[in-house]
Amino acid sequence: MGNYRFILSGGGTGGHIYPAIAIANELKRRHPDAEFLFVGAADRMEMEKVPQAGYRIEGLWISGLQRKLTLKNLMFPFKLISSLLKAGKIVTKFKPDAVVGTGGFASGPLLKVASGRGIPCVLQEQNSFAGITNKLLKNKVAKICVAYDGMERFFPLEKIVKTGNPVRGDLVETNSDQSVAIDFFKLKNDNPIILVLGGSLGARRVNQLIEQQLPFFKALGAQLIWQCGKLYFEEYKKYESEDVKVFDFLNNMNYAYSAADIIISRAGAGSVSELCIVGKPVVFIPSPNVAEDHQTKNAEALLVEDAALMLKEKDLEDQFEKVFKELYESKEKQSQLGENIKRMAMPHATSQIVDEIDKLILKK
């Protein structure tokens, strides 16, 4: 294999950044002499997360359109022109053999420029409802790697490859002993454990629900591993106790998943893909505040397979206790959901995406 050069672009949220990093890591494993460059939005979290993962990144002056008329929207044409010009300079200087876009606004200008110059481009779409940037690029790229069926609604069928979403390698490789994981969190072996995941920053409504339901969980005899997120840790750490363990961020996710009997989670694409591999019963509470309500659509793709439960935020007050108690008290239902969600797992997604990239560079 030659000394290849790859540009990866995606960002704005962890859901776009972490898949890009996972793909880069697999490319690096296969092509140790390859050179890598990430391109992101200049003021977003990728500018911090990508260098932490050991890769160089350049930022574009780009942001999304707001849903209402704002000063930011008036600036959008100028940002777009600036980003297209800078993307052109980056591509000219770096001379990539292939470009990978994982969604987010920064990937738009970069893949538009690269595809226009005949450079092989691959899109990776994490969600069951395609993002706006990827929809705009669909006719420009060679391949589109997706995680859900039915994506021909958004993309040309002949370009689609169903690979699944990249997940952390330790999840695929590690299946920790549950009793070891329970000891790690200093919890008891004899009471069921609920794992609450609101994302790395946290989810206000999920945290409010858990705070409100602490007496309910106590009455059930449940223990909690509660990742409230770094934005909310100071507010909720007071609930730490023998049966409730509160974290801003969980560094040992494999232990957290192993310890859990039931999981309550947001329905971001990365979380859904991880939870399929974990194979435990899940209650999804989708965020209603994301583009095109894609978290609800991600969860619904599992609901139709009887692979998870879902509660919308607006229904939590009325329905949470009833729905959760029924699941908590039915080992049969827990087992059924766990088996069904596990069936939807695609643990080799990263490798399959890189297979597609390799095919394109070899063809070139």
Feature table: binding site for UDP-N-acetyl-alpha-D-glucosamine: 13-15, 127, 168, 200, 295
Reading the block at residue 318, the tokens are 């009325």
Closest CA to 104 of 54, 151, 36, 50: 50
Name the CA radius of gyration of the chain, rounded.
Answer: 21
CA quadruple 137, 122, 343, 262: dihedral, nearest 10: -70
Return d(Cα 298, Cα 270) in angstroms, integer.
10
Concatenating the DSSP letter of every residue in 318-331 gives HHHHHHHHHHHT-H
> Could you tell me if 357 and 26 are in contact, meaning their C-beta atoms sit under 8 angstroms apart?
no
Instruction: Give the Cα-Cα-Cα angle 269, 36, 4 (nearest 5 degrees).
Output: 115
Instruction: Give the Cα-Cα-Cα angle 288, 253, 224 (nearest 5 degrees).
Output: 70
Q: What is the DSSP letter of 66?
A: P
Burial 92-109 (b: 16+ CB within 10 A, else e): eebebbbbbbbbbbbbbb
Query: Binding site, residues?
Result: 13-15, 127, 168, 200, 295
Distance (Å) of CA 268 to CA 61, 127, 128, 286, 289: 26, 8, 10, 8, 12
Return d(Cα 277, Cα 69) in angstroms, integer.
42
Return d(Cα 149, Cα 228) in angstroms, integer.
32
Return d(Cα 6, Cα 364) in angstroms, integer.
14
Reading the block at residue 356, the tokens are 């597609």
